[in-house]
Amino acid sequence: MNRELVILLHGVGSCGADLAPLGNTWRDTLPGVDFVTPDAPFSFGHGPGRQWFSIDGVTEANRPERVAAARAAFDKALSSIIAAHGLSDRLDRVALVGFSQGSIMALDALASGRWPVAAIVAFSGRLASPRPLTPSPGTRALLIHGDADAVMPVAESTRAAATLREMGTDTGLHVLSGVGHGISPEGVAFAGAFLAETFAQAKGDA
């Protein structure tokens, strides 16, 4: 039997290695799960990091276009990782966990219906997908956001959760008091429990 897989998607100007400690933290909560932390495909123009799409000149109006343009490279990366783990036909054993821009891409994978994985976890993200939205019906989502986030306002996750729920997605939202733009221990615990529950349900339904 193939193991479950969690793909961790970093934020802009960062790299996959920055999220590796998150997977290590979940080893006990999620035994038998593989964690992969890919680098985003594009160089960050203002430092050594990577990005899923350019933020130069980005606005509320043009962000959805950039997300759509980023899909080809994003999908290629995910397809390669998932195939390498033998799970191309078992997406119910795959989860995407994103932070910031990584969350934007994870939520887009759900909202566009392209990746019917078991679960999406979005830390400090926003839903920036082009309309219309056609979310995968079997995918669960958990949005986690600090109310002291000065980079990505918590209202972005609140709106995203409401939109996904309206479209029938099983969506949870945790707003964390006093947490800024980052991944807190409390958020890690919520996400780990959510992923463990989701994978357990998938095994029960198999």
pLDDT value for 167 = 95
pLDDT value for 48 = 85
Quick check: helix, strand or coil at residue 146? strand
The CATH number of the domain holding residue 21 is 3.40.50.1820
Cα separation, 141 vs 137, in Å, equals 11
pLDDT value for 206 = 56
Q: How many residues does the chain have?
A: 206
The total of structural domains in the chain comes to 1
pLDDT value for 203 = 73
List Cβ neighbours of 75 (8 Å cut-off, separation of 6 or more).
Answer: 114, 115
* Domain range for 169: 4-205
- Residue ranges with strand state E in 127-198: 140-146, 171-176
> Diameter of the chain by CA atoms?
47
Task: Give 10-residue mean pLDDT values along the chain (206 residues).
Answer: 90 97 94 96 90 95 98 98 97 98 98 98 98 95 99 98 97 98 98 97 72
- 55-90 burial, b at 16+ Cβ within 10 Å, e below that, comes to eeeeeeeebeebbeebbeebeebbeebbeebebeeb
Identify whether the C-beta of residue 138 lies closer than 8 Å to the C-beta of residue 186: no
Q: What is the pTM of this model?
A: 0.96
Find the DSSP H helices in 85-184.
101-111, 154-166
pLDDT value for 31 = 93
Cα separation, 160 vs 122, in Å, equals 10
pLDDT value for 204 = 67
- Burial bucket for residue 205 (CB in 10 Å: 0-12, 13-18, 19+): exposed
Q: Please name the residue that has the structure tokens 């290590």.
A: 24
